[in-house]
Structure 1
Amino acid sequence: MDGAAIVERMMTTEGRTDPYPLYARARGLGPVVPAGEGAYLVTGYAAVNKVLRTPAFGMVTGDMMVGFDAQYAQHESLVLFGRSILQRNAPDQPRVRSLIASVFTARRVAELRPAVEAAVGRLLDEMAEQGADGSPVDFMDAFAFRLPVGVVCELLGVPERDRYRFRGLASDLTVALEMFQSLDDLGEADKAAVELSRYFLELTGERAADPRDDLVTDLARIAAADDDRLSVEELLANLVLLLVAGFETTTNLLGNGLALLFRHPEVADGLRSGALTPAGFTDEVLRFDSPVQATARIALAEDLAVEGLPVPLGSMLTLLIGSANHDPARYERPEVFDPARTDSQPLSFGGGTHYCLGSQLARMEAEIAVPALLDRFPRLAPGGVALRRDRLILRGYETLPVTVR
């Protein structure tokens, strides 16, 4: 099976459900694998890490996508992400990222810890009440979604009354991030992009009239003061990105982590006893079953090479983060789930100029939530058949039923 055939298999439901055997086959072909004309799979840890940290391997921007196919401009979801820092290169990406980083500070994240702890306690109380009669509780809906969406909305300044409307919209919108999808599948994603953009346009207007201590107020103030520093279109696109990225990754981190605890009860025992640390557990979940499985780059310069393989200008690279995190050249016994690892540096939050701004917030939420969950429910157990989302890039569960009594 060559690189192109592996990509084809990854696009199937079976391949998306369990891509790890395909990753192993791809790594067997090398750290960088041709996958069709002008296309490469990057499979090894060192190779993925290098590409992530090399500016000459840039994001595929919205303008580039329109150049490939003019129909891209007709899809609001693709246009929205194309305006965000997720899919921009220098000079626009560092300009806007620095503005967001100036208000999305480590101090602001640290100050959220009491709110995270309070939200965890409240959600666990609700789970206990919901499952008091022994009936199953969907962990994804009752906790894994509600915790991070509440936290990121607190940070942004989204009113509490609006917060729980976003799961379906985010699920629809993020279809646009899936690689290899047909443009015909973006109808719901486009509707979600329009609705979320309209929502934040209204909210920034409210904050202009009634400023608060939140990110929407701060970023809207910057845009109003100087359109050259941050345009209205960039403001709205990046607020939508902050919202969706702020809970999508953490939701999947929590769900994937709990599923692994059910498969490895000895790890739950180790966390309860203190033999294993929440930070070590979080790192190993990120490595073993990453919430983000792949990303893409394009060669923006001549004479580039990765692991000795020349990569011509304009080549498209699919970086298999999930494969890199399982690379035996980087990790001893990579197929073993081992939260006691001391050398874990998963690539799940990216690297270089596109390293995830919310990584520390996601880690903090997981490191608070998992020990509290295990402490509150000593007999926590699967409550039915878990259902994975049929996605490759954003890997997680749609439902994960548990019993808490």
Structure 2
Amino acid sequence: MAVRPVVDLLELSPDFLRDPYPVYAKLRAEGPLHRVRNPRGLELWLIVGHDACRAAFTDPRLSRDWVGSGDISLISGAGPDHPGHAHMLMADPPDHTRLRRLVARGFTVRRVESMAARVQQVADELLDAMEADGRREADLITSYAFPLPMIVICELLGVPELDRDRFRVWSNEIIAPTNPANEGRAYTELLEYLVALIAAKRERQGDDMLSALIHAVDEGGDRLSHKELIGMSLLILVAGHETTVNLIGNGMLGLFAHPDQLADLRADTGLLDGAIEEMLRYDGPVENSTFRLALEDIELGGDTIPAGSPVVIAMADADRDPVRFPEPDRFDIRRDARGHIAFGHGLHYCLGAPLARMEGKIAIRSLLERFPGLALAVDERELNWMSGMLIRGVRSIPVRW
């Protein structure tokens, strides 16, 4: 069989980072599997289409255990022994099952619901600060969408108030690296911070998730190792914050681009639950899955992924597949968007999804109620989209009211 040629995504569309959906649709029309070169120059296998993506998430031949089974240098600037890799998103069963079980109690429905009042308070305080400025304009990301989930996840984990600019650099470099050196520096500096924080928590336990993780013991006497504590803390801090930042940011951009939908939501906030699901489907905060590792040759759609290859699941394309969602490029807050995979699918389904949904609903409702005349202050094409293919979002959103 002939070797499938590599498709350079940026050559297919120089506008790929801003609007990848036409590229994914073109590839999907040709089949579910493609060899591509991503914007960072890495060659990988890309799975598109709703059914193929859902199946890939549950295929045990597609592993997340890069440290144990693959070459981690293909996908990360941090070495194989870096504690930042010692978390459940980088593990397969039974290790994944064990790690998730030890952490899951911190994300129970009851605990998330108990945080709603505090999320509302944080949102109100941030909106007060925006209003008190007097300029009637702001960067929605810097002033609101970034600090809200950062404050919430830091308080949940038990992290003292971090320098926001420093944490934003760390987080951005880990999820959308500008170059390997900066990515490595971000991992190192965040690691040093977490080591010191865990040591302090061991000395003085608090009523927070990190203290609970340090002392958590399951029925069999199992507990997280020091390395796993660091890895899980890094995962919760970064993933627990980035998803919500871009749910708020992308969701508001969807509303700005569709004034009729914005007007409907302002007139009836009872539509908000459905609107959040449509925002997640239409332009969710996670564009593609984290890298999977093919443990063996895998045949899909007449092509074969060679063992040892990096594989990415195109969640953004799955949620724009017309087979699953009629008129998928239409943003409609009344649509039944259930069945989207914006938070993944299967055993790696996002543990923090209920928290992200709750924060997103409070954040967007409060924003629309406070500033009825809120509007995008620049042309949408001027927005600076993040590099890479993992997190989908913009660096800033200038608004006025």
The TM-score bracket by the shorter chain reads 0.7 to 0.9
The aligned amino acid for 2:7 is A
Cα 1:359/1:13, change in 2 over 3 Å: farther
Contact kept, 8 Å, 1:15 with 1:22, in 2: the verdict is yes
Aligned pairs for 1:88-103 (under 5 A) are 88-103=91-106
SS of alignment partner, residue 6 of structure 2: helix
Instruction: Give deviations 1:76-99, integer Å, cap 9, x for gaps.
Output: 599344322122112221111110
Secondary structure in structure 1 of the residue aligned to 2:387: coil
Residues 240, 388 of structure 1: alpha-carbon distance in 2 compared, 3 angstrom cutoff: same
Map 1:2-401; keep pairs closer than 5 Å: 4-7=6-9, 9=11, 14-33=15-34, 40-66=45-71, 75-76=78-79, 79-130=82-133, 132-134=134-136, 136-160=137-161, 162=163, 165-175=166-176, 185-222=179-216, 229-274=223-268, 277-295=271-289, 296-300=291-295, 305-306=299-300, 313-384=307-378, 385-401=382-398
**3-state SS in 1 of match to 2:244:** helix
When the two structures are superposed, what TM-score results if normalisation uses the length of structure 1? Answer: 0.87
Superposed CA offset, 1:348-392 (max 9, x none): 111111111111100001111111111110111122353322332
2:50–2:319 CA contact under 8 A, matched in 1 = yes
In the aligned structure 2, how far is the partner of 1:376 from the partner of 1:67?
46
Distance 1:68 1:398 in 2: 27
Q: Does the aligned pair in 1 maintain the 2:272–2:365 contact within 8 Å?
A: yes
Measure, in 2, the Cα distance between the counterparts of 1:343 and 1:167: 31
Find the aligned partners of 2:25 and 2:72 in 1 and give their Cα distance: 34
C-alpha separation in 2, matches of 1:275 and 1:96: 38
Counterpart contact for 1:13–1:390, Cα < 8 Å: no
| 2:46 partner SS | strand
TM-score, structure 2 as length reference: 0.88
Q: State the Cα distance separating 1:53 from its structure 2 match.
A: 2.1
C-alpha contact 1:283 1:345 (8 A) present in aligned 2: no
Alignment-mate amino acid for residue 18 of structure 2: T
* Partner deviation per Cα, 1:5-42 (whole Å, 9 max, x = no partner): 154647x8632222111101111111233559x96321
Root-mean-square deviation (CA, aligned residues, Å) is 2.8
Matched residue SS, 1:107: helix
**Do the aligned partners of residues 117 and 90 (structure 1) sit closer, same or farther apart at CA in structure 2, a change above 3 Å counting?**
same
CA 1:300–1:390 in 2, change beyond 3 Å: closer, same or farther?
closer
Once residues 84 and 53 of structure 2 are traced to their aligned partners in structure 1, the CA distance between those partners, rounded to angstroms, is 23
How much does 1:43 deviate? 0.6
Letter of the structure 2 residue corresponding to residue 393 of structure 1: L
Q: Which moved more, 1:277-286 or 1:387-396?
A: 387-396
Say which structure is richer in helix: 1
Same amino acid, percent of matched pairs: 34
- Structure 1 unaligned regions, length at least 5: none
- 1:5 and 1:346, CA in 2 relative to 1: closer, same or farther beyond 3 A? same
Alignment check: 8 A CA contact 1:148 1:251 kept: yes
Q: Secondary structure of the residue that 1:41 maps to in structure 2?
A: strand
